[in-house]
Chains A and B, each alone.
Chain A
């Protein structure tokens, strides 16, 4: 299954049309399709190329991790998909339409690097925020918020305020908030980056379970190789200056995963490939940066 493909930026062959490689019959288009996507920031000390010639197609129900050193444009790519930033060149389709359309349709949930909870709202009302904006009646909102909190293991904390929760719990609230309105696509920007390893392992297991149950499409930014390999169906390795895709690694471990899988040779082999990809990205950074 080659649902996700990326053309190596150094290759000259024209990139495949975004529909290519689709296997799911009843889905007419991929969740995300980028073609020659670039973004140049006009910073004070000259232009910064945050994204260069990104070609990427993400099928529905995939779990795709973006991995790469900081500053390689992972956040920027996620923000472009979310219509929070505008590309300067190339095309991008989200759910078959423009990113703006997808945003207006509330097609995605975004989990930021920090929980970004509203401190004046309690946990339940934080999760209800998008539902309130969508104009759902109160009873509906409460039911959905309760369900979403249950899926992240936070039932019983509805009336707590953010300051009364640990960092891991706050991040779970923000995941519940992003999932409460049942988007098809979940964009997660290093959601567990600030957490200790034990909490992180737990949340990884949790997220894996959620993804399996719901068959969401997830685009997940991370710095951690084991995290990426554990969660993903595909791993996109990126390199900085300019931010581009080095390699897309298929992660064809069984879909049913436990933490123990991290000790298996298959897992370690994929992790090794990711590591090599990251090194390759670094090695041709030199001449590019000069």
Chain B
């Protein structure tokens, strides 16, 4: 018998990090850096443009002579600029992450952690709910018909409108802190998981289902050994959307409460007191946190993919 095994050794997990290295070799790094540099330049220029009116006003009020150089220097170092420069934002970030103890109330790491914890809790709740609803819809015909319109309608309601209600109602029930925020996150993140999983749980082809039938497998076994594993390829893309939405939910949940902690609270106080630098560094922190969240899901995806044979 011709035993032609395509014995490609499975690349070890750490090898996936080579992809980043691969980008350098393929020369895609240079364009990325060039675009980044262009953005920074535009940002600095924009700071001059947007901050100039108020700076000039200040110069004139103080009856100073000023040159273009003075103007640029002043627009780049305002206390409460309309648009802070990247340097100011970076300095603020540096000060409030690296130089500050993480237990400090002013540490952005602390605030990011608060937001992150309710994001993850809400994400887990929402994903579990999404899987549950999808399983129900796949197995019970009446649920399939009756539930989907509600699932879709739930997402048509603007989250900004219901977030305060959820926070207030749960607050009256004695639930404060991380739970109301997590519930808002769950409310947003169950949706993509439901949609993805309905498709995923229905993805086994008739032959794969017939095979289960020849073994007279019951529904639970068919679910555990066929539908669920078949849906994994649909699950992870949904989870990436879900965790990004969970983060949005957590931040929105921190806005209406006058919460003292979390990136949402920093955004709110920043805008309330006109602390634009703080506002922007909190925004950058939100973006970084989003990247961390997506990366975590991607990492989980790679681990699962490797355990499932790692087909390239």
| A and B found bound together | yes
Binds A, one of B18-26, B191-199, B210-218, B280-288: B210-218
Per-position contact with B for A101-115: 1 when CB-CB < 8 Å, else 0?
A: 001101011101010
C-alpha gap A132/B8 in the complex (Å): 29
Stretch at the interface among B221-229, B263-271, B290-298: B221-229
What is the 8 Å Cβ interface bit string for chain B, positions 59-74, against chain A (1 contact, 0 not)? 0000000000000000
B303 to chain A, nearest CB (A): 14
**Partner pick for A118 among B7, B216, B229, CB 8 A cutoff:** B229
CA distance A157 to B4 in the complex (A): 11
A153–B1 contact, CB under 8 A? yes
Task: Check if A116 is an interface residue, CB within 8 A of chain B.
Answer: yes
Known interface pairs A103-B214, A110-B211, A199-B2; A133-B225 also in contact (CB < 8 Å): yes
Residues of B close to A120: CB separation below 8 A = 229-230, 232, 308-309
Indicate whether A48 reaches chain B with its CB closer than 8 angstroms: no
Q: Inside 8 A of A114's CB, which chain B residues have their CB?
A: 207
Q: Which residue of A lies closest to B207 (CB)?
A: A116
Interchain CA distance A149-B5 in the complex, whole Å:
15
CB-CB nearest in chain A for B222: A133
Query: Are B6 and A133 in contact (CB-based, < 8 A)?
Result: no
**Is the Cβ of B207 less than 8 Å from the Cβ of A112?**
yes
We find that the number of chain B residues with CB closer than 8 angstroms to chain A is 28
A27 CB-CB contact with B under 8 Å? no
What is the bound-complex CA distance between A109 and B229, given in angstroms? 23
Which among A159-167, A208-216, A282-290 touches the partner chain?
A159-167
- B208 to A84, Cβ gap below 8 A? no
Q: A198: CB under 8 A from chain B?
A: yes
Residues of B within 8 A of A118 (CB): 208, 225-226, 229-230
CA distance A103 to B212 in the complex (A): 11
Minimum C-beta distance from A83 to chain B (A):
8
The answer on a CB contact under 8 Å between A164 and B7 is yes
In this assembly, does B141 line the interface, its C-beta being within 8 Å of a C-beta of chain A?
no
In the assembled complex, the Cα of A114 lies from the Cα of B217 at a distance in Å of: 20
Q: Evaluate whether A198 and B216 lie within 8 angstroms (CB atoms) in the complex, with A112-B207, A118-B229, A120-B308 already known.
A: no
Chain B residues lying within 8 Å of A153, measured Cβ to Cβ, are: 1, 3
A: contact size bracket: 35 or more
Query: Which chain A positions have C-beta within 8 A of B145?
Result: none
Q: Does A130 contact B (CB under 8 A)?
A: yes
Q: Which residue of B lies closest to A122 (CB)?
A: B309
A108 is contacted by which of B214, B232, B308, B310 (Cβ under 8 Å)?
Answer: B214
Q: Which residues from B are CB-within-8-Å of A121?
A: 229
Contact with A along B223-249 (1 / 0, CB 8 A): 001100110100000000000000000
CA–CA, A169 and B7, complex, Å: 13
Instruction: Choose among B4, B216, B217, B311 the residue that contacts A119 (Cβ–Cβ < 8 A).
Output: B311
Residue among A121, A133, A198 with max Cβ neighbours from chain B (10 Å): A133
User: In this assembly, does A202 line the interface, its C-beta being within 8 Å of a C-beta of chain B?
Assistant: yes
How far is B214's CA from A112's CA once the two chains are assembled, in angstroms?
11
Q: How far is the CA of A185 from the CA of B216 in the complex (A)?
A: 15
29 example contacts (A-B, Cβ-Cβ < 8 A) are as follows A84-B213, A103-B213, A106-B216, A110-B214, A112-B207, A116-B208, A116-B211, A118-B225, A119-B309, A120-B229, A129-B215, A130-B215, A153-B1, A153-B3, A162-B309, A163-B309, A163-B311, A164-B8, A165-B6, A166-B2, A166-B5, A166-B6, A168-B1, A168-B2, A169-B3, A169-B4, A169-B5, A199-B1, A202-B1
List 18 other contacts, CB 8 Å, given A132-B225, A164-B5, A164-B309. A82-B214, A84-B213, A110-B211, A118-B229, A119-B308, A119-B309, A120-B229, A120-B308, A129-B225, A133-B215, A153-B3, A161-B310, A163-B6, A164-B7, A165-B5, A166-B4, A169-B3, A202-B2
Complex A-B, nearest 9 residue pairs according to Cβ-Cβ distance, in ascending order: A161-B309, A120-B308, A110-B214, A133-B215, A133-B217, A130-B215, A116-B207, A120-B229, A163-B311
